[in-house]
Amino acid sequence: MAGPTFAVSRGDARGAVVLALTGALDAFTAPDLDAAVAAALTPGRDLVLDLRELEFLAAGGVRALLRAVESAGRARVALRILVGEAQYARIVIDRIDLDGLLPLAA
């Protein structure tokens, strides 16, 4: 049985580019996030990664999030990562103590 598929939807909110992630973010789907982030980095516009609908986050997905932080920093684009308090991605991020490395917003 297949697990949740991964998708990235691009939108705009309050002048920021928003990438909404759904499904499973892991080593197999991380390149899709890398490509979406690279395409979304726009000087003068913030980037928001919305993980509130993400159903699964594996180590490969965490590495992709860290790469997104690095890419945004190199492009001088402000990045925020939205997670829900009791949401799966938030639990994973808390367990591996990434709060200081990822720019999280509730």
pLDDT in tens, 34-84: 999 999 999 999 999 999 999 999 999 999 999 999 999 999 999 999 998
Q: Is there a domain that residue 35 lies in? A: yes
> Other C-beta atoms within 10 Å of 99: how many?
11
28-37 burial: b if 16+ Cβ within 10 Å, else e? ebbebbeebb
What pLDDT was estimated at residue 72? 97
Q: Is there a domain that residue 89 lies in? A: yes
pLDDT digits (tens, 9 = 90+) for 13-41: 988 999 999 999 999 999 999 999 999 99
Contact, 46 vs 17, CB < 8 A? yes
- pLDDT-derived band at 1, boundaries 50, 70, 90: very low
Residues 6+ away with beta carbon under 8 Å from 58 = 24, 25, 26, 27
Domain that holds residue 53: 7-105
Q: What length is written for the chain?
A: 106
- Could you tell me which of 10, 94, 83, 22 has the C-alpha nearest to residue 47? 10
Domain count, the chain: 1
- pLDDT-derived band at 10, boundaries 50, 70, 90: very high
Report the predicted TM-score, pTM, of the whole model to 2 decimal places.
Answer: 0.91
Domain holding 23: CATH number? 3.30.750.24
